[in-house]
Amino acid sequence: MTDPKPDSGAVALDWWRDLRDNRAAAARLRRCHSPLEALLVPQTLTLARRLNRADRPDRLGRVGALAVTLAHVKEHAPGLSVMRAVGATSTKDDDVEGATLSEQRLRRLLLTDGDDESELMSAFVRLVRLMKGTANVADLAHSLLFWSDHTRQRWVFDYYNAGRARPDADPTADLPSASGDSP
C-alpha cells in the first residue's frame, strides 16, 4: 500500500524552511540551469521523497524545477495567493493599475508549457524575482507541481482580484487564516 498523497504546499513549505538553514545547498540550487541539474543536489531528492514523487521518474523534472524556484524565495508570504500578490489591486473591470506583474507578462507566463520543465522553472524563477523573493511558498509549490489549465484559470481570476467569482472558488479561500500559514 502506498502512502497517502501529501499536501504538496505544506511539504514544500517545510522543505523550504529546512533549505533556508542550508545556505550552501540553496546557493547550489539557485545556480542550476535546469531541473535535471537540480536533481544533482541531494536536497532536491529529499523534496521528491517528501512529496512521494521519488519513485516516478516522469515527475522528477517538476520537483527539480520546484527546488530551484523555492531556492530563490527569501521570505514566505502567507495569506495571499501568488497571483493576488502581483495582480490588480482593484476589483474594477479592466483596472490593473498597481499590479506588479503586467498583463503582457501574465499572458506570457500563462502560455508556459507545462511539459517543458526548464521553461516552467525559468518562468517561475522570473516570477519570484519580480516579487523580490517574497512569495506564498505553499501556493507557489502547488501551482508549479500541478501546472495545468485549471491552475492557469485560478491564476487569471486571482490576478484580476476576482478569485471569489471562480467557478470552483471557496468564498473564504482568499482570507488569511488565524495562523497566517494558509496556502
* Domain locations in the chain as residue ranges: 8-165
Cα–Cα distances in angstroms (integers) from residue 148 to residues 18, 115, 155, 180, in the given order: 28, 10, 11, 27
CB 39 within 8 A of CB 64: yes
Q: How confident is the model at residue 183 (pLDDT cuts 50, 70, 90)?
A: very low
pLDDT at 179 over 70: no
pLDDT tens across 119-139, in order? 999 999 999 999 999 999 999
Percent of the chain, pLDDT > 70? 81
In the block, cell 518562468 appears at: 123
Distance CA 132, CA 61 (A): 25
**What is the average pLDDT score of the chain?**
86
Q: How confident is the model at residue 181 (pLDDT cuts 50, 70, 90)?
A: very low
Task: Assign domain 8-165 to a CATH class.
Answer: mainly alpha
What is the reported pLDDT for 180?
40
What is the reported pLDDT for 114?
87
pLDDT at 168 over 70: no
What is the reported pLDDT for 25?
98
pLDDT at 62 over 80: yes
Residue of 53, 83, 82 lying closest to 65 (CA atoms):
53
What is the reported pLDDT for 161?
82
What is the reported pLDDT for 55?
76
One DSSP character per residue, 80-115 reads S-HHHHHS-S--STT--TT-SS-HHHHHHHHT--TT
Distance CA 42, CA 29 (A): 10
Which pTM does this prediction carry?
Answer: 0.84
